[in-house]
Amino acid sequence: MNALTRLERFEDMFPEVFRRFARPLQWSEATPGEIKIDVTENDKEYLVRAEIPGAKKDDIRVTVDGNFVSISAEVRQEKEDKSDGGRVLVKETYYGSASRGFSLASEIDDKAVVAKLEDGVLKLTLPKRASAAAKAISIQ
């Protein structure tokens, strides 16, 4: 049994570990169709910054249900490189849908939500719903 055979048997026991180390590091942009988010909070509201490159205002849908926020979009990305003579040598196109949902600690006042799209970045202002004071229940 040579060293390579022993390594193959070891890899059979832990295949995913070896696959992760074998992949080159990726320092590229987000995968097409992936929505990356940043969420910050203050006393009154949550602020969400969602990167949705290739999506237009009319193609984005935001829903709020209690403390759950859902963002979905139809994404179109096209990149085309041409050379002399107008022949297309490389064309990278993506069309599809992307979605992201997350829960927050407090319920959202869905009537006061503000959404703005600038340069492929969706900015949401999600005001926290005023919590009702706890009510003591008398026992009969």
Instruction: Count CB atoms within 10 A of the CB of residue 46.
Output: 20
End-to-end CA distance of the chain: 81
Taking the C-alpha atoms of residue 50 and residue 70, their distance in angstroms, rounded to an integer, is: 11
Dump pLDDT digits (tens) for 16-67: 555 555 555 444 444 556 899 999 999 999 999 999 988 889 999 999 999 9
Global pTM? 0.64
What is the chain's percent helix, strand, coil content, to nearest 5? 20, 45, 35
Rounded distance, CA 9 to CA 12, Å?
Answer: 5
Could you tell me if 104 and 110 are in contact, meaning their C-beta atoms sit under 8 angstroms apart? Answer: no
Distance separating alpha carbons of residues 24 and 36, to the nearest angstrom: 22
Mean pLDDT (the chain, rounded) = 78
